[in-house]
Amino acid sequence: MTTYEGLIGAADDTELFIRKDLPEKAKAVFVFVHGLCEHSGRYEYVAQKFNQFGYGVYRYDNRGHGKSGGDRGYIDNFLRFVDDADVVVNLAKKDNPGLPLFILGHSMGGLIAACYGVKYGHKLAGQVLSGALVIELPSMAELKKVDFDALRGVKSPNSLARLICRDEAVVNDYEKDPLVLKETELKLLGEIGIRGPAWLARNIKDYACPCLIVHGGADRIVIPEAAKWLYENISSQDKQLKFYEGLFHEILNEKERGTVIGDIHSWVEKRL
């Protein structure tokens, strides 16, 4: 196993924290894209399981999150997240020539991954989209009424903790994690909650990646209808939708995560 942690420069020279975990003789490579307020370190267990499957894993912190540069909890344009993902994908492809490359995106990371599939899908063997924030949610209705572009510096508290998972230990770890953002700017919420889904809706027919869409049936952050909309509107010939009844938003952290990870493993193996 080869492990590396460091910083790489995005297109505008913002530094992105990245970690590589590469098993010897990997047969596929994954890039993980995390969700709003969290960071790549919360995917340690998933990365370890993927390594056991023979998959190399590249994790990075989105700008403004975790150990990456950029203003905390802020983005001027959601497409910067998509282009940052491309920097990591290009690095992974350079490091692992000839290996099939997949993206695993969760929540906001699922939106980033889906938009990536529209812009750069030809670079990928497929995507796994978990709890993907791909539609405008009812919770964003009030934000849509304000000019969030003019509200630079106005912040909103992170109130997601009790909604992410049924496992109390996961919730407690999330609340105590110093790298989990305690607040975000309204501008970021507007970009990823309103403008991002609107852009995706306009371009969704250009998404043709092989994809596995997974979602918690009791998700109280991103409603399950988001997964249904994605499945029904993409142009992919190879697509699968799976709900996990009773599970909250972070299906990869629920106690049933072994089943979810096993399903992802089976899906990937059939495409290698």
Active-site positions read 107, 219, 249
Residue 98: Cβ-neighbour burial (10 angstroms; 0-12, 13-18, 19+): exposed
First to last CA, the chain: 21
Q: What's the one-letter identity of residue 73?
A: G
The dihedral built from the CA positions of residue 72, 75, 81 and 87, taken in this order, carries a sign that is negative
Kindly give, in sequence order, each residue whose CB lies less than 8 Å from that of residue 142, ignoring residues fewer than 6 positions away.
none
- Tell me the sheet residues that pair with 117: none
Q: At which residue do the structure tokens 């993907």 appear?
A: 132
